[in-house]
Amino acid sequence: MTKESNILNGSQGQVQKLPACVSVVGSSAALELLKNNFDQVNSDQLRLVDLAVDAEVPAEIVKEAEILVVEVDPSITSSLKRIEQIVRLRPHLPLVVGLRDASVSTVRTLLRQGVEDVASIPFQLDEMLDSAANAFENAVVEDEDVVELAPLIAVVKARGGEGATTVSTHLASHLLEWAPHDRGVCVIDLDIQAGAIASYLGVTPRRSLEDLLEAGYRLDSSVLRSIAVEREDGISVISAPFDIQPLEQVDVEQLLRVIELARKEYDFVVIDLPSNWTSWNLSTLVDASEILMVVELDISSLRQAKRWLELFNTVGVKASKVSVVVNRVEKKLFGSISLKDVKEALKRDVLVGLPNEGGKISTAQDQGLLYSEVQTKNKFDAEIAKLAEILCARLSEEQAT
């Protein structure tokens, strides 16, 4: 998209600046005033497309447009679907909708769907050009503000009850110390049938991941932020759905959009995954920066972890991304399995061994608190801090290469 300014003359002889060519799609009645002024405008700067309000906008017009102004009648379903169609084809296209006698609620709905501005019907040249310029300016700001995706850390478990959620929440707390842009850390609870992160962190969300998955093309940073609940320490939580959801009904594409958007909004994103594997949660691992497999020091846990690691290999998850965290380690003089044994058995680095604190951590979580908020200095928290430091060092090395 060019940023060079074109100059258009309005109906009253006023000079208006516009940064790109405008394509206007509308019915004959909607375009009537523009057609009367069309001789004042270079055809390379303004393109009029006469199209019935209930007809689909041709894909070639959407793809070629630099700024698109389109008439919509909210009372006609096929007309409203124009917005969904356009946003699907060109998510960042500067888009203005022309409405006749629109209600405030209709305008708000359209703005949530990705529309930048609204103009009245029939189109009047000056007003339409102002709206088009505003739309372009907003889109350019969005393009210029593109940021690198934040690291995505996936926490998985060999089997249920290994303490992966505890690792996720406490790790998020220490990642705050390494946040480079002070945008905080977001924890997304993808354990959609048994997620407990919101409870563990003492937040009471009004909406959940389910709302983001149902947002469709309305999903943007403001929607994400409105659903994520932020603790005082800077951890933001996107909770699991409130009602138990069938695992297979998750929209993979939409879920990946949610995660990508979170990675643009925060310094780190931590996802806590269920113990049952499906195509959608395996898809989240492919783009993960680091994957932590949480296990315990017993044969059953290690066997199950080995099975999952073999599955990860078959779906294209790089082995170099996967490391092991051993939870509930007890110091025994004659322990049957050591951290070294785990490394050799799973052929993965063991980053830390987290000490068994008995029921102390569970007691803190029952109160919606991190263990460090109950007991300031403890060995468990020290090892989690070490884990965060190791991960950040590895991420820095990866960025450098």
List pLDDT tens digits, range 375-401.
998 999 999 999 999 999 999 988 777
List pLDDT tens digits, range 256-314.
999 999 999 999 999 999 988 988 999 999 999 999 999 999 999 999 999 999 999 99
pLDDT of residue 203: 97
pLDDT of residue 395: 95
Distance CA 217, CA 13 (A): 39
pLDDT of residue 209: 96
| Mean pLDDT over each residue of the chain, to the nearest integer | 87
pLDDT of residue 2: 35
Distance CA 71, CA 74 (A): 10
Q: Assess whether pLDDT exceeds 60 at residue 68.
A: yes
Q: List domains and CATH numbers for the chain.
A: 6-144 (3.40.50.2300), 152-400 (3.40.50.300)
pLDDT of residue 124: 86
Tokens of 72: 């919509």
* 291: Cβ contacts below 8 Å, ≥ 6 apart: 153, 154, 155, 156, 285, 312, 317, 321, 322, 323
Please provide residue 296's backbone torsions phi and psi, each rounded to the nearest 5 degrees.
-120, 165
Q: Assess whether pLDDT exceeds 50 at residue 140.
A: yes
β partners of residue 15: 9
Cα separation values, 186 from 37, 66, 177, 360, Å = 52, 35, 14, 25
- Of 152 and 63, the one with more pLDDT: 152
List pLDDT tens digits, range 9-44.
443 444 344 557 888 999 999 988 888 766 555 556
Angle between helix axes 125-144 and 28-36 (nearest 10 degrees) is 100
Biggest CA pair distance of the chain: 92
List pLDDT tens digits, range 210-256.
999 998 877 888 889 999 999 999 999 999 999 988 888 898 989 99
Three-state DSSP string of 211-234: HHHHCHHHCCHHHHHHHCEECCCC
Cα separation values, 246 from 6, 124, 276, Å = 53, 50, 12
Asked if the bond preceding 91 is cis, omega within 30° of 0, the reply is no
Distance CA 13, CA 8 (A): 9
Among 126-140, 170-184, 321-335, the least confident range: 126-140
Residue 157, H or E segment? strand 152-157
pLDDT of residue 147: 63
Distance CA 48, CA 315 (A): 49
pLDDT of residue 19: 55
Distance CA 159, CA 296 (A): 10
* 317: Cβ contacts below 8 Å, ≥ 6 apart: 282, 285, 286, 288, 291
List pLDDT tens digits, range 114-129.
788 888 999 888 888 8
Tokens of 145: 């503000």
* 327: Cβ contacts below 8 Å, ≥ 6 apart: 162, 163, 166, 167, 294, 295, 296, 354
Q: Assess whether pLDDT exceeds 80 at residue 336.
A: no
